[in-house]
Amino acid sequence: MNTTPASQHTDFQEVPEKEIHLRDYIRVLSKRKVTILTFFLITFLVVFVKTYTTTPLYTASTQVLIEKNLGTNNIEGRNSYYQWDPDFLSTQFELIRSANVTRRVVKQLKLDTKYKHFFLNKQQEGLFSFLSSTKESIKDFFKELLSTGTAEDLESKDSSIKTPFSFEPKTDSDIIAAMIGNNLSIKPVTNTKTVIISFDHENPAMAAMVVNAIVPAYMGEILEIKLASNNYSLQWMTSKADEERKKLKDLELALQKYMRDNDLVTVENKLAIYPQKLDEFSSQLSKAQAEQKQYEALYDQIESLGENYNNIELISIFSKDSVLQGIREKIFEVEQKIKDLSKKYGYKHPVMIKAKAEHALLLKEKKLEIKRIIDSTRSAYELAQSREANLKKLLAGTKGEMLNINERFTQYTIMKREVEMNRVLYDALTSSIKKANVTEQSQDVKVWVVRKAQLPEAPSKPNKKRNLLLGLILGLTGGIGLAFFIEYLDNTVKDGKDIEERFGLTILGSIEQTQGKNDTIETFLLEQPLSPLAESYRMIRSALLLSSPDHPPRSILITSMAPKEGKTSTTCNLARVMSHNDKKVLIIDCDMRRPRAHSLFNLPNSKGLSTYLTGNTDQGFITQVPDEKISLITSGPIPPNPSELLQSDRMQMLVTNMLEKYDFVLLDSPPVQRVTDSLSLGTLVDGVVIVTRSGLTTYDIMEAGLKKMHDIHLPILGVVLNGLIQSGKNSGYYGYYEYYSKE
């Protein structure tokens, strides 16, 4: 009895999103054609009404040349070529729209008195009176908010004290000036230095008069700005020049006093001598230190040898001494003479004695000469030490004098530089004052009217053709966009193809929404048995009978994912078409929370499924529907525990017993997402039919419910799509079965 169809053996999985084709867009447009048409008609109607109810405006335009005055640049010593300034024209445009310029126009043309009625009517005056009163109320509120102290303190305050917020009512001149500024249009002409100034007004003559008065007012404003700026600059520069002149005089006097007090008349010559002396002393000190080191090393070498004159004699100063060299030569000659004489005479020979005496005398003379050189070296060493000490004293003294003179000269240089800087600043201010006097009457901006405004012949606004065309385009594109946006937000089941592609379920059939005002789906099959709607249920019956490979399912559970999707009406109509050909069909209303089957057949509900499952009755709970081949077991009185009753053994026994008496048993069960009744009943039948409603059942609810059913392996026979909106006379199966209705 719980045989799963072959088509449902595959695990449930979400099918990837399909590719969108052109026919899908056409389907959306056809489905949402009411939305598109409604948006289009509303948009076009609003544009149409606005276009034909708007007061026509006339536009007067003047062409003006606006450029920098290059002559001013030449006077100031600047380059004569034009310097590109990206913000120049933007600044001038804002100046033309400024309140000062528009007030000049109002005053010049007497728009606030003579021509006031062209700008302010009674309705506008009432509006501005309301705004003025509102501002006064806000002003009083802020006065109370900012005031502190007791009531007596507030009463004692001077009435002349005002709050930081001042809300004075606008005058007619200010209001008209603001209206002129808002209706001004300024556009530069490409590749030129000219601009087009335009003004819109209901009266063509007033439009031309105002726009022609804008340029003189603008020229007067820039001239006044120039004069005010020059006057301020002259006042500031004159005051600053007086301050700098006094400051320069004080600095010069202070410099002279400092030079006199520090004897700095010849300071520059002294600064040239001291570095030279310092270099000379440094050079002499270096030489003296080198000489002293040389003598010191020589003297230390002599001292280290002591009385060893033979080794002392090897020192370079002794070996190179000419006197000592002469004595050594004489000694050498005497020694050679003694050597020769010793061959002829004995040691005591007078000649030998004389020669030896001469040799001894020369040796003594050599020793004395060596002592003299040693004494001379000692004296030179001591002299070098003394000379080094003297040079160090001279160098230190020179450095001190140079530092002293440098400090005085540094202060002198600082004071002199400050004097020069103030003199340059004073000269620059004096020169600027002279130039400002020369250029006082010149303008930085050159303005010339190229073309004056003429009287407009036809209104420029509104452009009816353009507005209507824009209304058509906006209404059509906006309606299409709104349709696709609504379709994008719509997450409900739309047709059987979506269900098949997304969930892989079989679509048993689709039921269209009834079109007549008095038509009801519950009685439509009885009233029109040959209608396309009746044929839809026959198609569902055929699909059910062929849904199982071995034998057609006899016990079928019909449920839905949420309430109001048409499961009960589908059960009743399906029972009617299955009862043809002398088939016995039984409907069991298993929805014991919100039963509805008995009301569709106009039968009592005093006995039924609940009384049977509780054991209160075993007979008389099956009712034959009058004039139909259908039997019905109503839900009976609502019990407190429907889930426990439906899961009992008596329920399973009831289904088994009924299959022995009837050809088909249809169970109408509660929605899957609300209670678990349908899940428990699904295990008792051959298959489950899911009823969905187009435009009501969402994919999220559908996915969640299917997951519950697949988790317990319920045999799903397929899906019935209910409430399908008919999109055309020849669409789908409707056109295919149109001949039934004709017959």
- In degrees, rounded to 5, the angle at the alpha carbon of residue 566 between the alpha carbons of residues 562 and 570 is 130
Report yes or no: 635 and 609 within 8 Å, Cβ to Cβ.
yes
CA dist 579 → 582, 586, 713 (Å): 6, 9, 29
Rounded Cα distance between 558 and 688, Å, is 6
Q: What's the topology of domain 491-742?
A: Rossmann fold (3.40.50)
Rounded Cα distance between 155 and 146, Å, is 15
Before 462, cis peptide (omega within 30)? yes
Rounded Cα distance between 308 and 318, Å, is 13
SS3 at position 678: helix
What pLDDT shows up at residue 464?
85
Rounded Cα distance between 654 and 646, Å, is 10
Residue in 734, 279, 235, 238 with CA at minimum distance from that of residue 534: 734
CA dist 450 → 61, 223, 445 (Å): 11, 20, 15
* HEC per residue, 411-442: HHHHHHHHHHHHHHHHHHHHHHHHHHHHCCCC
Report yes or no: 589 and 684 within 8 Å, Cβ to Cβ.
no
Report yes or no: 694 and 509 within 8 Å, Cβ to Cβ.
no
What pLDDT shows up at residue 365?
78
Whose tokens are 């609502």? That residue is 638
Any residues with CB less than 8 A from the CB of 475 and at least 6 apart, and which?
39, 40, 41, 42, 43, 44, 47
Q: DSSP string spanning 372-424?
A: HHHHHHHHHHHHHHHHHHHHHHHHHHHHHHHHHHHHHHHHHHHHHHHHHHHHH
What pLDDT shows up at residue 433?
65
Q: Encode burial over 427-444: b for 16+ CB neighbours within 10 A, e otherwise.
A: eebeebbeebeebeeebe
What pLDDT shows up at residue 376?
76
Q: DSSP string spanning 101-118?
A: HHHHHHHHHTTTTTTGGG
Q: How far apart are the first and last CA of the chain?
A: 41
What pLDDT shows up at residue 115?
86
- In degrees, rounded to 5, the angle at the alpha carbon of residue 22 between the alpha carbons of residues 16 and 27 is 90
Rounded Cα distance between 515 and 529, Å, is 16
Rounded Cα distance between 229 and 224, Å, is 8
Residue in 724, 725, 737 with CA at minimum distance from that of residue 534: 737
Rounded Cα distance between 7 and 553, Å, is 14
What pLDDT shows up at residue 497?
79
Residue in 96, 408, 486, 432 with CA at minimum distance from that of residue 233: 432
Q: DSSP string spanning 624-648?
A: EPTTSSEEEE---SPPS-HHHHHTS
* Residues in the chain, total: 743
Rounded Cα distance between 605 and 598, Å, is 6
* Global pTM value: 0.49
What pLDDT shows up at residue 264?
59
Instruction: Identify the bridge partners of residue 454 per DSSP, sorted by sequence position.
Output: none
CA dist 162 → 47, 149, 151, 159 (Å): 49, 16, 17, 8
What pLDDT shows up at residue 120?
82
Domain extents for the chain?
A: 22-54+463-488, 122-170, 491-742
Q: What is the mean pLDDT of each run of 10 residues along the chain (743 residues)?
A: 43 54 81 89 92 87 85 46 70 89 90 86 52 61 56 46 56 88 90 90 89 90 78 72 77 75 57 66 77 73 69 69 77 79 78 79 78 77 78 76 71 76 76 60 74 86 87 92 85 80 86 70 72 84 82 90 88 89 89 87 87 83 86 90 88 91 92 85 91 86 89 90 64 41 41
Report yes or no: 622 and 636 within 8 Å, Cβ to Cβ.
no
What pLDDT shows up at residue 17?
56
Rounded Cα distance between 443 and 453, Å, is 25
Phi, psi of 417 (to 5 degrees): -65, -40
